[in-house]
Homo-oligomer: A and B are copies of this chain.
Amino acid sequence: MKQNNMLAMILAGGRGSRLHDLTNKVAKPAVSYGGKYRIIDFPLSNCANSGIDVVGVLTQYESVLLNSYVAAGRRWGLDAKDSGVFVLPPREKADANLNVYRGTADAISQNIDFIDEYSPEYVLVLSGDHIYKMNYANMLKEHKACNADASIAVIEVPLKEASRFGIMNADENGRIYEFEEKPEHPKSRLASMGIYIFNWKMLRKMLVADIKNPESHHDFGKDIIPAMLNDQKNLHAYNFKGYWKDVGTIDSLWEANMDLLDANNELDLNDSTWKIYTEDVTTLPQYIGADASIRNSFITQGCLIEGEVQKSVLFTGTTVNVGAKVIDSVLMPGVVVEEGAVVQRALVADGVRIGKNAVVGSADSENIELVAKRVKGED
């Protein structure tokens, strides 16, 4: 806090229901990605690397795993003296009943007392389920330089996809004069990434007013940002260039993993100046057997590979036995592919066992097959 006077709040309450069985037991931000990470490692590591000390994580749905995961702030070095990751679920108050968060803005509103404890000058609001690397310190620098009341990170999207996003229309100095949620005829290609820097005093006032507004959805995009534009506040668009992905579906999650095999992938996880930190799982080293064959794949420690792996991403502690084939697939932590089994164009959920000689997925399927339950093999 001393360095930059900015506190971060990560909205991590999404159910991620389009990820089907993957989010039965874990909230979307805790879904595994990239061999050894969870999605929320990205905003948390970005915070750590940007010099942010205090991070609140707003959780909601079935969050025991997410809660205990992020509570261990040491994973991102966020456990120094005046530092910490704080899990903030909805809670019972002296003067109100236990409530769920009604919208993104309400989640912040319900935690005004938490933020006030630190009395930061700036509050950074993030989403817990996006994959990207961003230096929020640079965004803050621009925010200050523009004397903005709020800054919103935006990324250029193809015009034809723009109508799926919240679009910011800004002048040549980056000052936003209009915001359109999923416009039919988008006027620009600058999509909001759901990353905001607010001057806390100003935001606090707006939130207090918003709580009392019975018409409000208590949402940043639908209510707070339009209200700020209405009030002639100085809203600044911060242009982000680089890899950014919202993995909302099984196909896009699979795709985001496959992006890591692309030699031109902008998300360089090997960059030692901006590491993504994650849980330090105690595992064996990565063991490659005598008959193994591995090509074009991304494999992490704790894996035991005795079969064939092609164009795949294998997560911590997966096993591919002799004669098994894994092609164009993503194997989540602890998956076992038994002898002779074939896995193709599939995303296999945590701990699932693919039995001997079983066949899962196919080379020419349109969608990626999600395998969330044990697949029986031959005896």
Contacts and interface: CB of A to CB of B under 8 A. Distances in A.
A63 B92 CA distance: 8
Contact of A87 (B67, B90, B94): B67
A81 interface: yes
A74 interface: yes
A86 B69 CA distance: 9
B282 A68 contact: no
A24 interface: yes
A82 B85 CA distance: 17
Interface in A276-292: 280, 282
A64 interface: yes
A99 B309 CA distance: 46
A4 interface: no
B92 A62 contact: yes
Contact of A89 (B74, B91, B117, B282): B91
A190 interface: no
Count of identical protomers in the assembly: 2
Contacts of A82: 282
A72 interface: yes
Interface string A187-204: 000000000000000000
A60 B92 contact: yes
Contacts of A85: 71
A85 B79 CA distance: 13
A302 interface: no
Contacts of A61: 92, 94
B79 A91 contact: no
B84 A72 contact: yes
| Chain A interface bracket (under 10, 10 to 19, 20 to 34, 35 or more) | 35 or more
A114 interface: yes
Contacts of A362: none
A72 B24 CA distance: 29
A72 to B, nearest CB: 5
A294 interface: no
A68 B100 contact: no
A262 to B, nearest CB: 34
A145 interface: no
A90 B65 CA distance: 14
A111 interface: yes
B100 A92 contact: yes
A72 B86 CA distance: 9
B282 A62 contact: no
Given A81-B282, A87-B87, A91-B63, A68 B114 contact: yes
B100 A71 contact: no
A263 to B, nearest CB: 35
A86 B63 CA distance: 12
A88 interface: yes
25 contacts: A24-B94, A61-B92, A61-B94, A62-B94, A64-B88, A64-B111, A64-B113, A64-B114, A65-B117, A67-B88, A67-B91, A68-B114, A71-B71, A71-B84, A71-B86, A72-B73, A72-B79, A72-B84, A74-B79, A79-B79, A81-B282, A82-B282, A87-B87, A90-B98, A92-B100
The 8 A-B residue pairs with the shortest CB-CB distance in the complex, in nearest-first order: A68-B86, A64-B114, A62-B94, A89-B89, A72-B84, A61-B92, A62-B93, A71-B71
